[in-house]
Structure formats: structure tokens, C-alpha cells
Amino acid sequence: MSLLQKQLKEIHNLIKKRDISARDLVQESIARIEEVDQKVQAFLTLDVEGAKKKAEKLDEWLKESGSTKLLTALPMGIKDNICTEGVRTTCASKQLANYQPIYDGTVVKKLNQAQAIMMGKLNMDEFAMGSSTENSSFHLTYNPWDLKRVPGGSSGGSAAAVAAGEVYFALGSDTGGSIRQPAAYCGVVGLKPTYGRVSRYGLVAYASSLDQIGPITKNVEDAAYVLQAIAGYDPQDSTSAQVEVPDYVRGLTGDIRGLKIAVPKEMMGEGIEEGVRAQVQAALKQLEKLGAMVEEVSLPHVEYAIATYYLLSPAEASSNLARFDGVRYGVREQGQNLLEMYEETRSKGFGPEVKRRIMLGTYALSSGYYDAYYLKAQKVRTLIRQDFEQIFADYDVIVGPTTPTVAFEIGSQVDDLLTLYANDVCTIPVNLAGLPAISVPCGRSEGLPVGLQVIGKAFDEETILRVAHAYEESTESIGTPDLGGVSQ
């Protein structure tokens, strides 16, 4: 068994006793990447030399001090829209093909302080706009469970790298489901924290009122450890919340007796594949066996969530992406004058999906349409948030499927945008309401992973982690993907 397949506590004890070194773990990760990444293509940029140097320094420090942290020496991957000092950060866009940040994002800084080791930057949909990682300007990423299928998106590279055993954990960002959906498709755990729980400083913005960074891990306990390391107030992020960070791992008691679970009928009805629904229903029965009370509820306004999202997020993207003009950073195309340079840079630098959303957003914000579209969408967002508040007045968590289907085949939805956008129907409402949610594997349909989504009250990541962990501990693992006989 690979070192990267061991439990975090086991690796920690081996490091602590000096039975293994940071160099050993980095070498395991490098070997695995060399073995499988030509098939999975999860990485955009590898920093092998940087990882080796960090491992050497860490081993020297451990030899002198003898003290370790829980994430010490664990190889990690970072989604390529999070700034890393001196390491290319492209957002999977030609627009930033050669951009090297001069600073680390806060989450990267915190993980460096926790002594984790970055192996490189992971593929994604361009500027996080997509649900399949097919919108990357550089290359496709393939689902380790079936190389003909998408890994999900936009954090597809992060989920695929963890599922394939290339890194121990990864960071993603979630604007409308971009951590949870690929985690569900790839059979791993994906956690979207409450908006404001984790600093967004250093995250290249897509939709600033929706974006949130979170971990993708092999299991729920690891998600709790990583969240512990990256959560907390950051004065460099004006949307960061000054809320106390609890001990997430201590809350993983396995006891959910007496908890009240709400199941929205809107998330279990039309559009949900029968195989997905069956696995989620089986998971709900398991939660009942563990002592929780499960009841059906209604979220009447979630049917408007996709329409609301595709007005608000492109509007914010239109504003945020205005900075990519070829003047300060990124690529620059030549023109006869300044305006022509802007036009050439933006038309050649952005891919079709990014252009589509910029145009949607600009239209929604334009004079004469602002009230009819953007303002109305903001009002519907308030109604969706109020729906959740009413449910949480009587229930502890909301549970349902993470995605309506299992991972679809590459290319099958490229020309069917409405179907592609509908893949996030179960996840988008959570972002609109700013709530925390986690996806945990709950069996397979057609041989492919199914995700169970647990949604919680604002800043109550403890409870969703407890429910997901209790479920995970009481059921059999779905196993690991077979990459054509490649050992894991």
C-alpha cells in the first residue's frame, strides 16, 4: 500500500517516530504522479523541485526540533486559481498563461505553516466557469473511475488528483458547487465552508459574493483537519468573518442520535437519476438507523436557483474580469491603439464559456435591464435564503444528493448548455444562501460514485462534519478507482 493511502493519524505517527521522512512522502507523490497523471491529467503545473527542497528543509527541522503538526509533510495540490508565490497561477486561461504571483494566498500561507508540501497546481474550468473541467484552455482532465468521463468542475483537477492518489489532499473553490460536484463524481469528500469562514485573499475572483475555498480529501476526518488549518478571520479579506473556529475533529463523535434531518422534495424529484436517488434513499435509511429523525420538507424557491445564479454570478464575473485587459499582467495582444489592444487581448485571451458569462453579466447590469434582471435575481436570492432559514428553525441539517446524475461522458454535454448548467441544481442554492455543505460518497450507480450532500446552518460546519463522518464510519467504502491495473 502506498504511504498516501494510509490514514492521516498513521502517517503522522510514522513521521513523529521518524520511521518515514518528508522526503519519503514527496517521493511517493512524485512516483504516483509519474505513474498515472498522463492518464488523469490533473495537474497544470508541477513544482517537483520546490517540493523536494521543502521536504529537505522540513526533515532538517524535524531532526532538530522533534515536533510535528498533523499535516506535516503531507503532499497537497492547489487549484490553479489560488495564488502561489513564484509558481504559475493560470486559472486554466490563456489570459494568465505566464502569470507568476508575488505572494501566497492566505490558505496557502496557512498550509505552509501547517507544514504541508505543495506538489503543484491543478486543472480547472477556465476562471472556475464550468462543471466538467472541459473549459480548461490547456487540456482535459479525466475521471479516475472512468477515463471516458468528466471529473466534474470547476475543481476537477483537485478531485481527480485526490481520487487517483497523486496527492493526499487538495484545495478547490466553490462558487456554485465546484468543490462538491467533482468530489461526488470522483468518489471523494468535498467541503464548502460557510461564506466568510475561510479567507479568499489570493483567490482569483469569479463571483465575489459566492466564491469560497475548501478542502477535497479522501475522508471526512481529513476534511476536518484541513478545514481546521485554513479556517479563521483574515484582515486581508473584507468578507472574512470574525467567528470563533471550533475544534472540528473533536466534534466527530459518530453520535447523531436525536438529530433532525430535512430532505427537500425538490432535490429528490424530477431530474434525479433513479440510481442516484436509490443510493441517497439508502443513505437516509442508514442515518435513521444511527438515530437521526428524517422528514420530507419543501424549499419552494430553489426551482429558481439556477436562473438566479446565472444572472448574479455572470454579473459579478463581468466586473471582476474587467481587470484582465493586457495592461498590468497576463498576456497582451498588439493593436493599432489602446482600444484595439483591449479588444484583441480579451477576445483571444478568454475562452468561449468565459466570454459567454461576461456578456450575460454585462447585459444583466446594463442600463434598462438592471432592475428587470439583476435586482430581481437579488430579491429571489433573499427568498431562497429565507427558505433555508425557515427549515433550520426546526431541523439540524438538510440532506440530499450532491448531483442529479453520476459523471457524464466527455463531450456529451458540450453543446447542451442548459443540461450542463443543471448539473449544479442541488449545489447552487447553498452558495446563494452562503451556507456550509459537504459531499461524501454514498455508494455507486452504474459502477460510478454517488455523492450525498449534507447542508448545515451558517458557521455550523461541526454538525455537517459529524453527520457525514457518522455515515461514512457506518458504511463500507466505495473503494478506489482502477486506473488500468496501475497500482495504488
Question: Collapsing DSSP states into helix, strand and coil, what is residue 486?
Answer: strand
Answer whether residue 23 shows pLDDT above 90.
yes
Residues 305-332 have a mean pLDDT of 92
What percent of the chain clears pLDDT 70, i.e. is strictly above it?
Answer: 99
Assess if residue 289 is contained within a domain.
Answer: yes
In a domain, 352, yes or no: no
> 93, 178, 318, 439: which one is catalytic?
178
Q: Classify the phi-psi angles of 327: left when phi > 0, otherwise alpha if psi is within -120 to 50, otherwise beta.
A: alpha
Q: Residue 96: which CATH number?
A: 3.90.1300.10
Residue 333 within any structural domain of the chain: no
Task: Provide the β-strand partners of residue 448.
Answer: 445
User: 299 pLDDT exceeds 90?
Assistant: yes
The domain containing residue 453 runs over which residues? 7-262+280-298+390-473
pLDDT score recorded for residue 484? 64
Interatomic CA distance for residues 152 and 189, integer angstroms: 13
Single out the catalytic residue among 54, 79, 218, 457: 79
Confirm whether 27 is domain-assigned: yes
Residue 336 in domain: no
84 domain-assigned: yes
What is the pLDDT at residue 416? 81
Please give the torsion angle defined by the CA atoms of residues 454, 456, 394 and 269, in that order, rounded to the nearest 10 degrees: -40
**Strand arrangement, sheet containing 189-192:** 43-46, 117-122, 75-79, 169-174, 212-217, 189-192, 437-445, 448-455, 397-401, 260-264, 293-297
- Domains held by the chain: number: 1
pLDDT at 65: 86
Which is higher by pLDDT, 304 or 415? 304
**Would the pLDDT of 487 be above 50?**
no
Give the three-class secondary structure for 378: helix
Q: How does pLDDT run across 182-210, given as a tens digit for each residue?
A: 999 999 999 999 999 999 999 999 999 99
Residue 272 lies inside a defined structural domain of this protein? no
Which letter does DSSP use for residue 427 in this model?
A: T
Pick the closest to residue 301 from 376, 382, 384 (CA basis): 384
Q: Which residues pair with 170 in a beta bridge?
A: 77, 216
Question: How much is the mean pLDDT over the chain?
Answer: 95
Look at residue 245 in the predicted model and tell me its pLDDT. 97
Q: Is 178 a catalytic residue?
A: yes
* pLDDT above 80 (res 1): no
Q: Is residue 27 helix, strand or coil? A: helix
Q: pLDDT, tens digit, for every residue of 232-284?
A: 999 999 999 999 999 999 999 999 999 999 999 999 988 999 999 999 999 99
pLDDT at 486 over 60: no
**Is 79 marked active-site?**
yes
Q: Is residue 130 part of a domain?
A: yes
357-391: pLDDT as tens digits: 999 999 999 988 899 999 999 999 999 999 999 99
- Give the model's pLDDT for residue 333: 87
**pLDDT value of residue 414:** 81
Class of residue 178 by CB neighbours under 10 A (exposed 0-12, middle 13-18, buried 19+) = buried
How far apart CA 376 and CA 172 sit, in angstroms, is: 30
All three cell numbers of 167, joined, read 496527492
pLDDT at 328 over 90: no
Check residue 403 and give its pLDDT. Answer: 97
Active-site residue among 136, 137, 154, 158?
Answer: 154
List, for residues 134-186, the tens digit of each pLDDT value. 999 999 999 999 999 999 999 999 999 999 999 999 999 999 999 999 999 99
